Amino acid sequence: MPKKPLIAIIGRPNVGKSTLFNRITGGARAIAHELEGVTRDRNYAPAEWEGKKFIVVDTGGFYPDSEEEIFSEVKEQALFAAQEADLIIHLLDAKQGLTPPDIDIAEMLRSSGRKVLWAANKIDGPTKEDLIYDFFRIGASEILPVSASSGYMFDEFMEKIAEYLPDAGPDESETQMPAIAVVGRPNVGKSTFINSLLGKKRLVVTPVAGTTRDSIDVVSNYYGKKYLFVDTAGIRRKLFRGYPLEHFSMISAYRSIERCDVAIVMIDATQGIVSDDQKIAGLVHSNGKGAVFVLNKWDIVQDPEETFKKLQAQFARRLWFFGHAPMLTASGLEKKRMTKIFPMIDGVLRERSKTVPAGEMEDLLLESLRDLRLPVYKGRKVRVFSLKQIGKNPPVFAVYADAPDGLKEAHFKFFEKKLRQRFSFAGAPVHVIGKKRKR
């Protein structure tokens, strides 16, 4: 799919960034299949207005509410927005009025070259619209009144935003090339891995213009098959001396994951699997994408056999939801075992698009019901009538029952386990949901 525009909301603490974020995104965050404790409390989400799709980021949500070092935090938000955002919303507090930090940030944003909209929040009705005039001292030609809390002037606010969003572009799926994203936390070796992979003599590399600024897509032809590596540029960390932007690295991963079919999740083998690795893998899973895990920097691992055993144990403990995914030890720096990634990608693509015949589904249901103890719901035992595949890329299955609300997460996990035992789906998330049987 085309890369969605990114809208960043920045501003001082307590101006209403999170409230505006929640109003813009609405129920979008509930669409994804969340993993408890892994993809919870996300500060970025997809949104849509009048058919135009985009990603919105609450930059302030990455910091605790604190009066200390406020300007430093907001400056970091502005630096991120100036680098990554297609549109910046500088949110101001109409009740508090214009402050010196507001002016400083406005000057920084104006010099960034990005499109900026200035909005005065907490204007709850027509009688308070006069409060916007104080903010014209910021140097803006227009101040948008809005109330993120009550929704006053929200439609007009969104109409203005929509003016700066591109119309939906062509679907990249039409190219019939699988889209591959290389994701991972900072310094795990993503850039080195990509450069080494695309530098192989058997790979024919063609630059493809990205759909937004600073995006580089690369087509690789490996033994006659083409792969589209998306967003190979990522965040250019060198521009942020003194501002490492670790807070925002997850957003870069999210944008790439949204566009891909399979994500290559890079892990630093010398450091093991840490919480950020788990979060990124969680994003891959909750977005229904396939995954291949690469244990990078294997060339500097001291005791490979013992290290691999430890990493396998960490994988089972922290990445249990991808316990079925393929894993590769490699060295981007030394260019070792690099092209082994392509057969793994192909395998995950096959599993992610697999369709199970109806007859085999019936056999699996009968086997499952012999081993499954169904719950009692509202005084009656739940009855399950059928198990059907209702989607692929990723595979989605529906358990049809007379009272699907009585089925718990454990029951759906049971069916997933049975499906994997018989049909594998290695490297692909499998979603099992409950549906009421139609009479």
> Closest Cα partner for 15 from 46, 80, 68, 59?
59
161-180 per-position pLDDT tens digit: 999 987 755 554 445 789 99
User: Is the predicted pLDDT of residue 316 greater than 90, yes or no?
Assistant: yes
Give, rounded to a whole angstrom, the gap between the first and last alpha carbons of the chain.
38
Q: Give the domain range for residue 98.
A: 6-163
Please check whether residues 333 and 185 belong to one and the same domain.
Answer: yes
Per residue in 342-366, pLDDT (tens digit) is: 999 999 999 999 999 999 999 999 9
Residue 96, phi-psi category: left (phi > 0), alpha (psi -120 to 50), beta (remainder): alpha
Identify the band that residue 11 occupies on the pLDDT scale cut at 50, 70 and 90.
confident
What is the pLDDT averaged over residues 243-268?
Answer: 79
Q: What is the mean pLDDT of residues 388-393?
A: 96
Beta pairing, strands 380-381 & 384-391? unpaired
Same domain membership, residue 34 and residue 67 = yes
Residue 190: the pLDDT is 85
Peptide bond into 404 cis (omega under 30): no
Kindly state whether residues 375 and 406 are assigned to the same domain. Answer: yes
Least confident of 148-152, 217-221, 423-427: 217-221
Looking at the structure, tell me whether residues 259 and 146 fall in a common domain: no
Judgement on whether residues 179 and 293 belong to the same structural domain of the protein: yes
Decide if 153 contacts 42 (C-beta within 8 A): no
97/199 same-domain check: no
Write down which residue in 352, 375, 402 finishes a domain.
352
List CB contacts of 275: < 8 A, sequence separation 6 or more.
Answer: 318
Query: Could you report the per-residue pLDDT of 57-83, keeping only the tens digit for each?
Result: 887 654 444 555 555 666 676 677 667
Give per-residue burial for 174-200: e unless 16+ CB within 10 Å, then b.
Answer: eeebbbbbbbbbeebbbebbbebbbee
Average pLDDT, the chain: 83
Residue 1 included in any domain: no
pTM over 0.85: no
> 150 and 282 share a domain?
no
Task: Say whether both 64 and 119 belong to one domain.
Answer: yes
Domain count, the chain: 3
Q: What percent of the chain has pLDDT over 70?
A: 81
Domain ends where: 305, 325, 352? 352
Instruction: Answer with the one of 145, 163, 181 that is the final residue of a domain.
Output: 163
Mean pLDDT calculated for residue range 185-214: 61
CATH for 420 = 3.30.300.20
Q: Is 253 found in the same domain as 362?
A: no
Range from 29-33, 176-180, 306-310 carrying the lowest mean pLDDT = 29-33
Q: What is the CATH number of the domain that holds 274?
A: 3.40.50.300
- Rama region for 157: left / alpha / beta (φ>0; ψ in -120 to 50; rest): alpha
Q: In terms of domains, do 92 and 178 share one?
A: no
Are 383 and 401 members of one domain? Answer: yes
- The reply to whether 102 and 157 lie within a common domain is yes
Q: Is the model's pLDDT at 185 over the cut of 80?
A: yes
Q: What integer pLDDT is reported at residue 417 of this predicted model?
A: 95
Span 81-107, pLDDT tens digits: 667 788 999 999 999 999 988 898 888
Judged against a pLDDT cut of 50, whether residue 239 lies above it is answered with: no
